[in-house]
Amino acid sequence: MTEPLFARDEQDVVEAVAAACASASPLEITGTSSLRALGRPCAGRVLDVSALCGVTLYEPEELVLSARCGTPRRDIDDMLAESGQMLAFEPLDLGPVLGTAPRAGTVGGLFAVNLSGPRRLSAGSARDHALGLRAVSGRGELFKAGGRVVKNVTGYDLPRLFAGAFGTLGVATEITFKVLPRPETEQTLLLHALAPARAAEALSAAMGSSCEVSGAALMPAAVAARLPGLSARETVALRLEGVAPSVAARREMLRQALSPFGPTDVLEADVSAPLWRALRDVEPFAGPSACALWRISTAPMAGPILAARLCAELDGEAFCDWAGGLIWLSLPSEAAWAERVRAVLAPEGGHATLIRATAAERSKTAVFQPLDGALAALTHRVKDSFDPAGVLNRGRMHEGW
């Protein structure tokens, strides 16, 4: 009974989940397995949905794309690029970090984990771009929610709830996304040698300007040294995207706004693009490595100081994205030190997720931010409302459910 089940179509998923539900035997939902090491290890027979493949709707002038869950992300990227469009939330490619093949994931996976890149700051997350859904609940019932239009308040917004649910609520068999035009060009402004508190102010000043910054990161010297286009100095990087005359105008406006923080350097598009791709995919902390890697979301102004404090306490290395609000923290060994990480974070608020760790470490650690009493109970009831027998990715997010 341990060999994987391979679903050929939606009906197979319905039958597999219905059978699993009837017998209360858990399933682990997989596509290309590129994200299988994310979250807690979960028990159950593998239900492979990678054969549910193909873009079912793409209308560039309507800014909408629907794809079956197993559609490779590279196919989506390529198809959108042909029309000058993109998934604007810059989905992460965790291949480098998890030691799997690059660009290997599926659209179902990138939706399920809701991991968005640098542009999350200005364009929103995967969740923000999810418009519609077809899914099989833990009862083995096929249902739909949302739609294919941007403006829709008909019923609860289940597509957004499913983003980041790690497949624990249902098997999303088809997802509809809002897509956006790819920016014509980009440039990056760099500031150097700012202490964390001062860097936080610089990031805030940039984001508080009308320059429409679409990427705002802060790297210590050792991390900057490992990034394309940067040298081994503390660096604040600010990305501007859009039509060329606008980017040029905003670059000068931003320079002006940042003049109190020192002189700026400019990276042209050919250097800027690889830099942000490397930041998106956390390349400075790429594997093969079993060293614990954390992703921490907090208030932007708190991030840079928090990152420095975490590094000092845990002998780690970190950089900030999202204008300081996202910290990538790499620890020196397999030990995740979850309680310590979260104790440092607690006064500022936010959440910490363990992205890379050994299976043993992920089994005994709260990979996701532990929830308080009432919220934990509510979250558990929400899970039960979709999957009462607890058969879908049981244990992926929380021990036992």
143-172 positions binding another protein, by CB under 8 A: 143-145, 147-158, 160-161, 163-165, 168-169
Of positions 192, 239, 383, 396, contacts another protein by CB under 8 A? 383
- Only segment of 13-21, 35-43, 267-275, 284-292 that touches another protein (CB under 8 A): 13-21
Task: Please count the residues of this chain forming the interface with another protein, following the rule CB under 8 A.
Answer: 107
Footprint of another protein on 28-57 (CB under 8 A) = none
Footprint of another protein on 186-225 (CB under 8 A) = 201, 204, 207-212
Binding to another protein by residue 19, rule CB under 8 A? yes
As measured in angstroms, the least distance from the Cβ of 368 to another protein is 5
- Only segment of 9-17, 227-235, 311-319, 333-341 that touches another protein (CB under 8 A): 9-17
CA–CA separation, 249 and 204 (whole Å): 20
As measured in angstroms, the least distance from the Cβ of 73 to another protein is 20
Binding to another protein by residue 15, rule CB under 8 A? yes
DSSP state of 376: H
**Where would I find the beta strands (DSSP E) of 127-208?**
130-137, 142-146, 170-178, 180-181, 185-192
Spatial contact of 331 and 337, defined as CB atoms under 8 Å apart: yes
Q: Tell me the DSSP string of 68-89.
A: ETT-BHHHHHHHHHHTTEE-TT
Nearer to another protein, 116 or 187 (CB): 116
- For the beta carbon of residue 48, count every other beta carbon within 10 angstroms: 18
CA–CA separation, 399 and 108 (whole Å): 23
Footprint of another protein on 106-135 (CB under 8 A) = 114, 116, 120-121, 124-125, 127-128
Return the closest-CA partner of residue 302 out of 320, 279, 276: 320
Binding to another protein by residue 263, rule CB under 8 A? no
User: How many contiguous H segments (helices) and E segments (strands) does the chain have?
Assistant: 15, 18
Q: What is the dihedral of CA 277, 280, 282, 284, to 10 degrees?
A: 40
As measured in angstroms, the least distance from the Cβ of 365 to another protein is 14
Binding to another protein by residue 232, rule CB under 8 A? no
